[in-house]
Amino acid sequence: MEEVETPEELLAKQHRKEKKDLQAKVQGMKNAVPKNDKKRRKQMTEEISKLEADLSQKHEEELRQLKATADTKKVEEVINGVENVKVEDGEQEEAKQPRVTKAQKRRDKKAAQEKEREIRIAEAEVQNLQGVRHQEGLKLVQKLAQQKLQIKEISSDGHCMYRAIEDQLTRRSKLQLPTSVKELRSRTAEHMRGHPDDFLPFLTNPSTGDMYTTDEFEKYCSDVEHTSAWGGQLELRALTQVLHLPIEVIQADSPTIKIGEEYDGELITLVYMRHAYGLGEHYNSVEQLKDPVNTEDS
């Protein structure tokens, strides 16, 4: 008879696989970044540390959930009389109950497997509901609902911040504004080059800790313009000055960041998600709320 693995063994096997998958992913990330590109390798190292920390936290939470579920299941088994099925003495069991046919045994085994599958699905749903990604999403939904807004998903390709801004600009009538990702990146880099004193003091060499040299700053601006380098607060500051529009960034667990409040134009609203994808940080756009959320019932 094939030995059935315990939930603890199954979870340990799953954790080993996830660790192995992460190791493969980390190796791929390392291979994708040139060794002489110190800035991108520093970003990569931070990304890897976050991925490893998130996986460790996930595994700890799953182990805790499994222990809690096991305790509950044991009580359930006693109540439902499942313990009676585990009689070790087969002859005594036959004396107490009518002889079970092979067909009935197969049906019973199938029913037990189906029940175990349903339990695993329920456990997975509980873990998902308590996961940091899900909790972050719930908080953002509630925050946005107060402004009658909802998240509009933007693809995760390194251009997400610019694509989120592009999405909102294309829905406006001011056609003279730059609206493509390419143009937004180009205008951002151009503005930063033209105003180095506003941006250079905030950029430091990760190896030395010194402020960027002129050449390093030019390389940074070139990456902004020509690559899929992620955008952050420096680029947002440049964009508010290019567009003459205020920008706000809504976050789940931190106050809303407001940039360019000196401008009176129509506000651009972005959503910053720390746990949206495997690599972490991501920007989404917003749109008018379509399905009202009753926050009082949540």
Classify 215 in phi/psi space as left (phi over 0), alpha (psi -120 to 50) or beta: alpha
Other beta carbons less than 10 A from residue 47's beta carbon: 16
Residue 39 identity: K
Catalytic residue, chosen from 54, 59, 282, 297, is 282
Verify whether residue 221 is a known catalytic residue: no
DSSP letters of 4-31?
A: PPPHHHHHHHHHHHHHHHHHHHHHHHHH
Cα–chain center distance at 76: 35
Tokens (6 digits) for 142: 């509630």
Catalytic residue, chosen from 160, 191, 221, 275, is 160
Q: How far apart are the first and last CA of the chain?
A: 48
According to DSSP, the residues that pair with 270 across neighbouring strands are: 249
Verify whether residue 134 is a known catalytic residue: no
Q: Are 233 and 259 in contact (CB under 8 A)?
A: yes
Q: Cα separation of 50 and 279, whole Å?
A: 8
Name 104's Cβ contacts closer than 8 Å, sequence gap at least 6. Answer: none
Tokens (6 digits) for 14: 């799953």
Catalytic residue, chosen from 89, 157, 210, 291, is 157
Other beta carbons less than 10 A from residue 77's beta carbon: 14
Name 88's Cβ contacts closer than 8 Å, sequence gap at least 6. Answer: none
Query: Which strands make up the sheet holding 268-277, listed edge to edge?
Result: 149-152, 280-288, 268-277, 247-250, 257-259
Verify whether residue 167 is a known catalytic residue: no
Residues recognised as catalytic? 157, 160, 282
